[in-house]
Amino acid sequence: MAKAKLGVVIEKPAAGLSKEQLLDLYRQMLIIRRTEEQLIRAYQAGKIHGACHTYVGEEAVATGVCAHLRPDDVVFSTHRGHGHALAKGVTPREVIAELFGKATGVSGGIGGSMHLFKPEIGMMGSSGIVGPSITMAAGAAYTFKLLKTNRISVAFFGDGAVSNGSFHEGINLATVWGLPVLFVCENNMYATEVPFNQATKNPDVASRAKAYGLPGVAVDGNDVLAIYQAAGEAIQRARGGEGPTLLECRTYRTRAHSEGMRDTGYRTAEEIAEWKARDPIARFRDVLLGGLASEGDVIRIDEEIKIMVEEATAFADSSPWPDKAILTQHVYSDSGG
Amino acid sequence: MREMTFVEAAREALAEEMARNPAIFVVGEGIGARGGSFNTTLGLYDLYGPERLRDTPISERGFTALCTGAAAAGGRPVVDFMFIDFLADGFGDLFNQTSKLQWMSGGRLKMPILLRGCIGVAKSNGAHHSGNYYPFFMHIPGFRVAIPASPRDAKGLMKTALRSNDPVLFLEHKDVLMLRGPVPEEEYLIPFGEASVAREGKDVTVVAIAAMVPKTLKASEELAKEGVSVEVIDPRTVAPLDIDTILASVHKTGRLLIVDEDFAPCGVGAEIAAQVMARGFDDLDAPVQRLNGAFAPAATSAVFDNMVPQVPDITKAVRDLLAE
Ligand SMILES: Cc1ncc(C[n+]2csc(CCOP(=O)(O)OP(=O)(O)O)c2C)c(N)n1
Ligand SMILES: [Mg+2]
């Protein structure tokens, strides 16, 4: 169950969500999972050029947060950004084609796993550099405030970024300037192979909010409804001009840091098994089947997404390679394209 | 002579120097028990423990400046950035403190810090994991910049770096990390500022940097079949730069091409060309030419693998230069 911090109360899950909304959360998590599984197979088949950091096990976070976002709200993402992109509305076709290096990819094939951009719908990019999602999201929020919009900005970042200077500077600036931004820490307990408690003496990320003077909330990052609820309250505050929130989602990646990397020697098989048993999708499916939706509803979605992702892979496979000329386009605003 | 890989040779140098000098310690992400993302410290943790092989949080700005302070106080830090792109967060202090402390203190402080990381597009990981950046450091007074291209040079330059009292950038191109080659058993150091003539020739001089050295050697073999004799020079360090070896070669060949995968503007080639123009103008039978990587961040798709010069690009550039 979600843990409340600094007076933010998390009510009983499912309250206030229609059946359709609940099924949408399920659908979104499954889209991410199935897309990742497809990418894993493709990686093993040698079809992916460059890295591939999957979001398997963490789907509830992007799903619960992005369910509140409008297309004109923005997300700044990390190296582990497939889930953020998909939850923000990028299609499996565009993600898979991008990792295959195809022209139809969301970044035209120049970006790969760590550089997914679709600003038209508020996907401001994943990043191969740890940290700047925090400060850049604060900057977007500055613009939204300056221009008197009620748009908001979201920074996703891992526990690893918490020890980076950008965490301190970004959160302090956003708080003192009252910016409409949500800071979402995906605390999966490891940065590559470094356990969070070896990176800090205070692994309670939400508690740090106190030092900066903004609300800090920790939630079960494998509980999509808890995240949905906590993010909803924070986003409402941000839209209402009440400034930023630090939301810590405690979760776990159940695969290696990056595909093709070893996943032993720094964590135990038991720990992985424990977290797999808390799989956010299986758990939510149980919640749904406990009276909120029928088995038929859920199976229909399973089938729908299976087909969607297969079709997306075929699309990526048959897509053309990028035109080599695009390499030097867009280095400057007037350099073509 | 025994053979080893570039990574093994550089690591052997680090291990030997750590045994010699208790002030050497290494910081970086995953460089402890894990041995580094590129195996730069594999096995050293077992020998020297967590204080001398310090795993860090993702705090590049913090640990770079911390190591600058450590060096000023008599320590000898090795900062292992994994990908050199990650050095960028620490650049402010590198520029304002690390490079200037010796000068600002009138030589009373020393700055024995080694900054290492992998460079190059290689099998591209995209815009944030493929940089070269060495011209930035050539431009700033105070830095030494070593860019070895063979196992032998990696070991000898690493040893020199670990005895230098200046901040040294030690850059390891991803395409040469697994290169195998002869490495002497007995101790040796390779001084900074001494280029190596990687192949002797008489028709044209090609200066190549990092991964462009093995590629240029391959191109030279092909050109030899056509009767073209290429002299290949590997500067090994670009700061200091051994311009005399390049001038002597140009004196012999009359033609100069610089092959560097990094961007052309304000790059190594520009610096070499200017110096050769100033001191070797009368030797030149043709304009100095450069062959560089595309002027853009690194793209991931496999179709962009040739955004940096490949062997056929080099042979073509040499033929073009000979036709001038
Ligand atoms: C500035 C910087 N330093 C180092 C890295 C190398 N790196 C990539 S991911 C990663 C670990 C990130 O951990 P965390 O932020 O917890 O995210 P997670 O991978 O757990 O999702 C590291 C060290 C990087 N990308 N950027
Ligand atoms: Mg993490």
Domain boundary assignment for chain B: 3-182, 196-322
pLDDT over threshold 50, residue A142: yes
Which residues have any ligand 1 atom within 6 Å of their CB? A 79-80, 128-131, 158-161, 186, 188, 190-192, 257; B 29, 58, 60, 86, 89
Query: How many other β-carbons are positioned within 10 Å of the β-carbon of residue A27?
Result: 17
Taking the C-alpha atoms of residue A67 and residue A268, their distance in angstroms, rounded to an integer, is 33
Q: Cβ of A129 and B30 within 8 Å?
A: no
Q: Cβ of A327 and B304 within 8 Å?
A: yes
Pairing outcome for strands B144-146 and B237-239: antiparallel
Q: Considering only alpha carbons, which residue of chain B is nearest residue A321?
A: B303
Q: Cβ of B300 and A324 within 8 Å?
A: no
The alpha-carbon gap from A92 to the nearest alpha carbon of chain B, in Å, equals 18
Could you identify the atom of ligand 1 that is nearest to the CA of residue A127? 25
The closest alpha carbon to A93, from A272, A307, A316, belongs to A316
Which helix (H) or strand (E) segment holds residue A242: the answer is none
Which helix (H) or strand (E) segment holds residue A315: the answer is helix A295-318
End-to-end Cα distance, chain A: 50
Residues 6+ away with beta carbon under 8 Å from A83: A32, A36, A55, A58, A59, A61, A62, A63
Strands (E) across A77-131 are located at none
A1 or B42, which is more confident: B42
pLDDT computed for residue A13 by the predictor: 52
Q: Considering only alpha carbons, which residue of chain A is nearest residue B61?
A: A165
Q: Cβ of B301 and A160 within 8 Å?
A: no
pLDDT, chain A, mean: 94
pLDDT, tens digit, 9 for 90 and up, residues A272-331: 999 999 999 999 999 999 999 999 999 999 999 999 999 999 999 999 999 999 999 999
For residue B30, which residues of chain A lie inside 8 Å, CB to CB?
192-194
Q: Is A263 helix (H, G, I), strand (E, B) or coil?
A: coil
Which amino acid makes up residue B128? H
pLDDT, tens digit, 9 for 90 and up, residues A206-256: 999 999 999 999 999 999 999 999 999 999 999 999 999 999 999 999 999
Sign of CA dihedral B234, B235, B237, B238: negative
pLDDT computed for residue A7 by the predictor: 39
Q: What share of chain B is helix, strand, coil (3-state, %, to 5)?
A: 40, 20, 40
pLDDT over threshold 80, residue A11: no
Q: A262 — contact with chain B (CB < 8 Å)?
A: no
CB-CB contact of A214 with A177 (8 Å): no
Q: ipTM for the complex?
A: 0.93
Rounded to the nearest angstrom, the distance between the alpha carbon of A288 and the centre of ligand 1 is 34
pLDDT computed for residue B158 by the predictor: 98
Which amino acid makes up residue A16? G
**Nearest listed ligand to the Cα of residue B89:** 1
Q: Cβ of B303 and A101 within 8 Å?
A: yes
pTM above 0.90, yes or no: yes
Active site residue ranges of B = 60, 129
What CATH architecture is B196-322? 3-Layer(aba) Sandwich (3.40)
pLDDT, tens digit, 9 for 90 and up, residues A19-48: 999 999 999 999 999 999 999 999 999 999
The closest alpha carbon to B174, from B155, B149, B145, B157, belongs to B149
Q: Which of A36, A54, A79, A257 to mutate to test the pocket of ligand 1 (most atoms within 8 A of CB)?
A: A79
pLDDT, tens digit, 9 for 90 and up, residues A185-212: 999 999 999 999 999 999 999 999 999 9
For residue A101, which residues of chain B lie inside 8 Å, CB to CB?
300-303
Q: A191 — contact with chain B (CB < 8 Å)?
A: yes
The alpha-carbon gap from A45 to the nearest alpha carbon of chain B, in Å, equals 15
- Residue B300 is nearest to which of A49, A163, A194, comparing CB atoms? A49
For residue B88, which residues of chain A lie inside 8 Å, CB to CB?
129
Rounded to the nearest angstrom, the distance between the alpha carbon of B3 and the centre of ligand 1 is 34
Sign of CA dihedral B151, B152, B157, B158: positive
Question: Which CATH number is B3-182's, of 3.40.190.10, 3.40.50.970, 3.30.70.20, 1.10.10.10?
Answer: 3.40.50.970
pLDDT computed for residue A3 by the predictor: 40
Q: Considering only alpha carbons, which residue of chain B is nearest residue A158?
A: B58
Same fold, B3-182 and B196-322: yes
For residue A194, which residues of chain B lie inside 8 Å, CB to CB?
29-30, 55, 57
pLDDT over threshold 70, residue A9: no
CB-CB contact of B169 with B146 (8 Å): yes
Stretches where chain B sits below pLDDT 50 are none
